[in-house]
Amino acid sequence: MENSPRLQKLERLLAVEPNDPFCLYAMGQEFASLGQTESAIAWFDRAIAADPDHAYARFHKARALESLGRLDEAKASLREGLAAAERTRDGKARSELASALDSLEP
C-alpha cells in the first residue's frame, strides 16, 4: 500500500473499525487521487457493502468506472446511487447523481 500519511491514518482507523463506511469511502478517495482507479473502485465497493445507502460512494465509483471507459457500469452505479439518495431523502446527492447520469446518456 502507498506510504501516504492519510492512507496510514485511515488504515489505523480501519484497524479499529474495519467496516466504517466513511473510512472505506475515504480510502477509495485516496486511491482515486493517487490514480489507482481499480483499487479505488474496490474501496468504494467495500463502503457500499458497509452502507448500501452511501450515495456518494456510488457517485465516485461511477466516476472511476467512467475514467476506465466502463460506461455501462458507471451508469448502473449512478442509478443505484439515485435509488440510495431517494431512500435517504438526500436531495443534493440525488441532484448530483442525476446530473452525472445525464452527462453519460445520449
Closest-CA residue to 47 (of 84, 91, 75): 84
- pLDDT, residue 106, reads 74
Q: What is the pTM of this model?
A: 0.92
Q: How many domains does the chain contain in total? A: 1
Closest CA to 23 of 34, 33, 10, 32: 10
Cell representation of residue 90: 438526500
pLDDT at 2: 54
Name residues of the chain where pLDDT drops below 50.
1
Question: Which CATH number is 58's domain given?
Answer: 1.25.40.10
Helix axes 21-33, 55-67, angle to 10 degrees: 20
What residue numbers bound the domain in which 57 lies?
5-104
Predicted pLDDT at 4: 82
pLDDT of residue 33: 93
